[in-house]
Amino acid sequence: MVIGDLSSAAETRDLAGQVNQIGRMNAVIHNAAVFLEPSRATTADGHAKTLAVNTLAPYLLTALIGRPDRLIYLSSGLHHRAGAGSLRDIGWTGRSWNAAQAYSESKLHVTALALALARVWPEVLSNAVDPGWVPTKMGGPAATGDLQMGYLTQTWLAVSNDVAATVSGGYWYHRQRQAPAPQARDRDLHDQLMDRLAALTGVTLF
């Protein structure tokens, strides 16, 4: 077990170090996130908490953990609502806070990250997964999705040697490839996102 607070850049870096001390991972699933933060909730590093946990942390962990065989990033169908302009004010310093929009944008970011890595790291299988609206602590008891299929898709992509699972650059829902939002596949957005995250973290991924 490794422990760290993903809203803190220092603790996220330390978490990566803890993982690397264990040894090279076969797969890393980036599953942690916050949902509807009631306010911008600035972290010690000056970032909106949603940005820090949902976008900056998986970016930092990807950059700092030894490259595994497989990477899985938890997305959401809400990433379709992000809009093409989500990078203009990625930190919500100029806009009035909108918790749902911030979450949607963060899920566009990690989906784009997964698809960008599939292109630039051909030796790594990198995919994004939409688990659906499932009855977890985040989703709440009213959620109507299939909890089991939500997590089985992640584990299947992480460990299966099925031909269908040993692919890269997919956006998955219940073991079926789906079409992500068009901007998630846009190479210009990939480049802009990587530049923005490198500037915010001081770490270059590629």
In CATH, what number is assigned to the domain containing residue 63?
Answer: 3.40.50.720
Tell me if residue 125 falls in helix, strand or coil: strand
CB-CB neighbours of 78 under 10 Å: 19
Structural domain contains residue 12 = no
User: Does 6 map to a domain?
Assistant: no
Catalytic machinery residues: 103, 107
pLDDT of residue 183: 94
**Secondary structure of the chain in HEC code, one letter for each residue:** CCCCCCCCHHHHHHHHHHHHHHCCCCEEEECCCCCCCCCCCECCCCCEHHHHHHHHHHHHHHHHCCCCCEEEEECCHHHHHCCCCCCCCCCCCCCCCCHHHHHHHHHHHHHHHHHHHHHHCCCCEEEEECCCCCCCCCCCCCCCCCHHHHHHHHHHHHHCCCCCCCCCCCEEECCEEECCCHHHHCHHHHHHHHHHHHHHHCCCCC
The per-residue pLDDT for 84 is 63
Stretch 114-126: mean pLDDT, rounded?
98
Domain count, the chain: 1
- Evaluate whether 78 touches 139 at the Cβ level (below 8 Å): no
Question: Does any domain span residue 58?
Answer: yes
Residue 19 lies in a domain: no
Comparing CA positions, the residue from 157, 187, 161, 182 lying closest to residue 172 is 157
What would the pLDDT profile of 61-84 be if each residue is shown by its tens digit? 999 999 999 999 999 999 999 976
> Which residue range forms the structural domain that includes residue 87?
25-201
In a domain, 29, yes or no: yes
Residue 32 lies in a domain: yes
For residues 122-148, average pLDDT:
84
The answer to whether residue 4 sits within a structural domain is no
Structural domain contains residue 76? yes
**What's the whole-model pTM score?**
0.95
201 or 147, which is more confident: 201
pLDDT tens digits for 143-192?
A: 777 878 888 999 999 999 999 999 999 999 999 999 999 999 999 999 99
Q: How many CA atoms lie within 13 A of 185 on its CB side?
A: 9
Residue type, 174: H
